[in-house]
């Protein structure tokens, strides 16, 4: 899949000279949870990882536009029952603007997200889920982040706010939020 995304990035920026186009790989740790007015808040953050690829095009010396393809798992862990957690596997397409001043940069954008799996584990045993208990397929989190790039290596932090109700059940409304801390290599 990563090779396919890099090929798509190359096609989308066809004709641009390589000096204005950077590609790379990013990965890191993330802490996530679900939040909502009537969501059971007896949970703590689910710690997981994210990994993906990206492409960025320099428009002017301080401004870049980027797109990526990433995979992560978000979820929550119960504070009442040990070893009980809900996990959503997802693929997302971050689309962002990056403002760079020296080695420091700020970025913000939108990440159309597609849920590809749900897993509920109760006391370390996986439980089957009815369709209503699974999260909605689509979300569109917005994110903001800061980073530092030295040579081809970057360290960055991003916070993502889900904008869509992920519940399929009536009278239940919850969204995902997650903090990411990771590294990237550009080539």
Tell me the whole-structure pTM to 2 decimals: 0.86
Q: Kindly tell me if the per-residue pLDDT of 11 is higher than 70.
A: no
Tens of pLDDT, residue by residue over 66-80, are: 999 999 999 999 888
Count Cβ neighbours within 10 Å for each residue of 18-46 and write b for 16 or more, e otherwise.
Answer: eeebbbbbbbbebebbbebeebeeebebb
Model confidence pLDDT, tens digit, residues 84-123: 899 999 999 999 999 999 999 999 999 999 999 999 998 8
Q: Which CATH architecture does the domain made up of 2-13+24-186 adopt? A: Beta Barrel (2.40)
Give me the phi and psi of 167, to 5 degrees please: -80, 140
Q: Three-state SS for 120?
A: strand
Phi, psi of 47 (to 5 degrees): -95, 130
What was the pLDDT predicted at 38? Answer: 62
Average pLDDT over residues 131-139: 88
């Amino acid at each position: 899949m990563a090779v396919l995304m890099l090929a798509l990035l190359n096609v989308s920026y066809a004709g641009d000279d390589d000096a204005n186009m950077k590609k790379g790989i990013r990965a890191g740790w993330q802490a996530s949870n679900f939040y909502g007015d009537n969501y059971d808040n007896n949970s703590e953050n689910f710690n997981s990882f994210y990994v993906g690829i990206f492409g960025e095009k320099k428009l002017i010396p301080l401004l870049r536009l980027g797109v990526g393809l990433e995979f992560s798992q978000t979820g929550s862990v119960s504070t009442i029952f040990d070893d009980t957690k809900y996990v959503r596997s997802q693929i997302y397409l971050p689309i962002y603007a990056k403002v760079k001043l020296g080695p420091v940069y700020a970025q913000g954008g939108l990440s159309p997200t597609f849920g590809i799996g749900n897993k509920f584990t109760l006391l370390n045993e996986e439980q089957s889920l009815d369709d209503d208990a699974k999260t909605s397929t689509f979300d569109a989190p917005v994110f903001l982040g800061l980073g530092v790039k030295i040579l081809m290596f970057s360290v960055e932090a991003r916070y993502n706010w889900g904008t869509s109700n992920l519940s399929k059940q009536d009278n239940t409304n919850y969204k995902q939020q997650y903090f990411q801390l990771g590294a990237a290599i550009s080539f």
